[in-house]
Amino acid sequence: MPEQVLKVLVSGGPGTGKTWFGCSFPKVAYVGTEPGGLDSVLQNSEPRAQELVQHLVSYETYIPTVLEDIKLTFQRLEQDLKLSYEQAREGKVETLVLDNITFLSLNRWLYMEKYERKSAANGEVDSRGMYGALALWMYRFILLNVVSFPGHVVICAHEQLESEEDQKSHLYANLPITPDLLGSMKYRVAGLVSESL
């Protein structure tokens, strides 16, 4: 394990180099939640991309499909993260890359719609309650499973322009671009890492 570790949230639009940045770290365990997220590295013949491939110790995707129940997808994710922790203790892995947290929140929302749907008193879907539950799950998951990793951590996130209403808010006036997440996590993620890029 490296003596000094970095915990980084790297935000940007598609194709801005978030995955490349994460794969530039040593001994990477790559956790993909975005369809095709690692393709820019694995399917690229440029010498720099081939160097990045050498940094990958493991790479797996956790994307809902018709062939795997989404509950199993999340079980695989949690089991493989535990394995990455063990590999870090053995010195086999130094960096955990979560690519990307935006799709993780979307995928978890699909899970909640199937397994944790909340209903209001009138029988309608309680979206507000579900968003709150999603925010709590995301916080716990990122804190307990990702940023506590005993090595470097790179969390990738897509960005979006805030709504005009958010931009007028005195609290977010200086943050016109933030990670695009469900469940109101976008304002809290940066507080869980040491650097935001």
Confidence of residue 190 (pLDDT cuts 50, 70, 90): confident
Percent with pLDDT over 90 in the chain: 49
pLDDT tens sequence across 124-138: 888 888 888 888 899
CATH number at residue 13: 3.40.50
Q: Cα(189)–Cα(7) distance, rounded to whole angstroms?
A: 11
Averaged pLDDT, 160-177:
48
Q: Cα(100)–Cα(121) distance, rounded to whole angstroms?
A: 35
pLDDT tens sequence across 68-82: 999 999 999 999 999
Tokens in use for 69? 């129940």
In a domain, 2, yes or no: no
In a domain, 74, yes or no: yes
What's the domain count of the chain? 1
In a domain, 29, yes or no: yes
Q: Cα(110)–Cα(130) distance, rounded to whole angstroms?
A: 11
In a domain, 127, yes or no: yes
Range of the domain at 139: 7-196
In a domain, 1, yes or no: no
**pLDDT, averaged across the chain:** 84
Taking the mean position of all CA atoms in its chain, how far away is CA 63? 12
Please check the confidence at residue 179 and state whether its pLDDT lies above 50.
no
Q: What is the pLDDT of residue 195?
A: 84
In a domain, 162, yes or no: yes
